[in-house]
Amino acid sequence: MITVRAARGSKLALLIAGALALAGLTISPSYAANDTEIYIVQGLPGKNLDVAVDGQSVAEDVKTAAVAGPFKVKPGSRMVTFSEDGTTVLENTFSIKEGSKADVVAHLPASSSGDPLVTVYKYDAVKVPKGKALLVVSHVAAVPPADIRVNDQVLFANIANGESLELTVPVATYKVSIVPTGETKPVFFGPVSLTVKGGAINRVYAVGDPEKKTMNVAVHVLTAGTTGSGEPSEVNTGTGGQAVGDGPSLAVDLVR
């Protein structure tokens, strides 16, 4: 039995579909009915790539180290294709659950002589303490296991191609470099200045090939929920023992 509310909803859906058709637009109900999203991270050096999911174009001319999206996709097993000038460069399948989000990264393997890879980094909703940032570093470059040095200290050690590590850090600008595991030279990449955004997931992908001088970083910043209270802008020092309202209230400004 169809209820009156359901019948009205069906009529409204038909009206919307008709309006879109008249406007020359199309919409896939299976895509619009969920919030499953992907971003495309282009980590192949020297290429401008077109991207399709299940044969449907989602992005064109995506440059090296660029992040495109978000794109809504159907949950389940999907096929992603990267092509250049009509020629397929890389194609692979990935799976994603309904309501999930992920970065789909095209990148070189540890050896630059190998075939390109697709690695999918999925992430859930997270909360970041106020005044802090979540820094996630992923190694997707043509180098062996490496250390990520931040302000001359090893914060991410022995990361292999395709691996990812995360750390909560204060909001600041950091000097980041990539070196062989346990060494300080040769420097595969950097140092470069990276300013992290507070209350956000700062996803950093090391891409390229140091032998061909194509090392780079792709940065994808996603807003996150926050926990705790923010840093105070002033400290109220009181009224010197006077009754409330009987004297001036002194405050020390913490913002310089």
Closest Cα partner for 197 from 227, 226, 170, 167?
Answer: 170
pLDDT band of 225, cuts 50, 70, 90: confident
Query: Is 153 within the bounds of a domain?
Result: yes
**Strand 37-43 to 101-107 pairing:** parallel
Give tens-digit pLDDT for 60-109. Answer: 999 999 999 999 999 999 999 999 999 999 999 999 999 999 999 999 99
Q: How far apart are CA 51 and CA 106, in angstroms?
A: 10
pLDDT band of 228, cuts 50, 70, 90: low
pLDDT band of 229, cuts 50, 70, 90: low
Query: Is 256 within the bounds of a domain?
Result: no
- The residue range of the domain holding 173 is 30-227
For tokens 């994603």, the residue is 96
Q: How far apart are CA 146 and CA 161, in angstroms?
A: 9
**Strand 67-72 to 56-62 pairing:** unpaired
Query: Is 86 within the bounds of a domain?
Result: yes
Q: How far apart are CA 79 and CA 95, in angstroms?
A: 9
The predicted structure's pLDDT at residue 68: 98
Show the tokens assigned to 148: 């990520």
The answer, yes or no, to whether residue 256 has pLDDT greater than 50, is: no
Q: Write down the pTM of the prediction.
A: 0.75
Query: Is 126 within the bounds of a domain?
Result: yes
Q: How many domains are contained in the chain?
A: 1
The predicted structure's pLDDT at residue 29: 37
The answer, yes or no, to whether residue 50 has pLDDT greater than 70, is: yes
Give tens-digit pLDDT for 142-195. Answer: 999 999 999 999 999 999 999 999 999 999 999 999 999 999 999 999 999 999
Query: Is 73 within the bounds of a domain?
Result: yes
Query: Is 216 within the bounds of a domain?
Result: yes
Query: Is 244 within the bounds of a domain?
Result: no
Query: Is 98 within the bounds of a domain?
Result: yes
